Structure 1
């Protein structure tokens, strides 16, 4: 049976538990009340403010913008040229180096022409002998024709003289062709530039043996440059000949507006891309191999934009103040691309929202 002292202790313990429970409930209610007024809708950062400052307002817009894609490529010559020898001869001199500008007809390479000059002299000697034979045969043919008319020679003798004349004429023609060939070969001993352009690479050195068809000097035509771009295959249906291109060459810092002139139909299986070509102007300090970027429009998209002066920074967050039903809401926003004096809004605003402009808050952005 409990003693009076035990009952007193139990009563005190119950009162303590009741008091502790009441205090806990009170604290919980206070915490709920403290949190409830500050809880905000998604996108809001603080309580709504009733007082609207005297600042200009702007409207959040829904705009249709072109979809621009950037691809990379390089500058190339539309007419790559390899100056080669047409004859087999030893190289005696190469008069150009990589980077040299050359004119059409300028000497690039000289070959050993001693043997060629001897061949020309030999052909010319044979031509002279054939011409002498032709002169004698011509005189014989005229004499035998006169004698045959008077009946002094037989028909067979006349025919033999006429055949000798014709044979001599054929040998003269043959010798004349041999002279032309020998002289052409002598001209081939000097390799000339076929265009106005720039030397990209010399592929031989003096003392080397030049063989027919083997390139000696590689050039490019400065008046026939183009950009070659690697376009991802997912854009195959979006590009077509005549489409405008904006090309930027980082090395020169220059930009060019051109149009697609050629699309290579075969795709590169390793890079999953295909080649697109477009002409570039000449005389712009462009050289084959330079890196280039190109952008073009492949469609359009609808985006939400807001004036940049409406954006305020709160720590690492971008915020705007929105006027809604006569009150102000501070909202956190997610931003995208800068579009001049406006900026793309990815989340936090809707078209038609009115925002407060605050150029002071955006100074230095």
Structure 2
């Protein structure tokens, strides 16, 4: 897909805009293959959580842990108002829209029979986007595992997820692939593993103890490992079964901070490199080289899962592109401290990184997709 290599130009545009007037650029300053778009997740946009056959996801469960919370029950009501929303997108001049498929709307039991009303909704949404000249970009997983699978085997901490996620993806490729050329397997894979596992409360549970039978000191890394293996399995399926006909691209997205040493000291420089290894290299190095960073191996020892030779080859090169999702820039200093957002939900991971990360200014959000 030619336009993917041009998404990296967005980084340059952001850097230049920071020192120039924002109106210094127009659409004509970018190649025609460059896509400007917006993104959302099924749970944050669709609403209609108990309509037309959809069943609860772990996000529903977690959102309702606090009494009186409605969570994403209504959200933006995109399930009913998608035509209005797409019209607004077209009026804004959006060229792409990245949205996720609600696993439990399409497959209410997490596997098995397809929900025809869920299937029709996504077909209609994709058709509506295309009719307005907007490129649909589908995310297969955005935090909303069917609660039934979490209850059955602990979700992403269990290797059974690889088979179920691959089967779900197979249905999506088969049903939507003729009209969808851009696929992201897992959104924000890094921060999802950090924020949802290896802590006192994780997605799909309201208890004060971890919902699975695993170990708080290993679950973050087990979940991340299974995400990489599931991504590789889905990517391999697409490339073997669908790519030659549908001619799409597939990748993974990670949550990435800007990291800079707090001082010019050697200790802060080393701490910054260690933080980069944990926050970026954790997913990126396996996708490019087939194994985890040495910094993680040394720090974690036996707590870090190991790729078999076959798994290493499957993961390496399994992404056509990487999605980089950025919210904030942090200073890094080589001293332990109480964890801060977004690591405050996982004290184990924060301790493993072993550095104090200090936010610089206000947060903002943009996503860049880079071909690799």
Do the two structures share a fold, i.e. TM-score over 0.5?
Answer: no
* Greater RCO (CA < 8 Å, at least 6 residues apart): 1
Q: Higher Cα Rg: structure 1 or 2?
A: 1
TM-score of the aligned structures, taking structure 1 as reference length: 0.15
TM-score of the aligned structures, taking structure 2 as reference length: 0.15
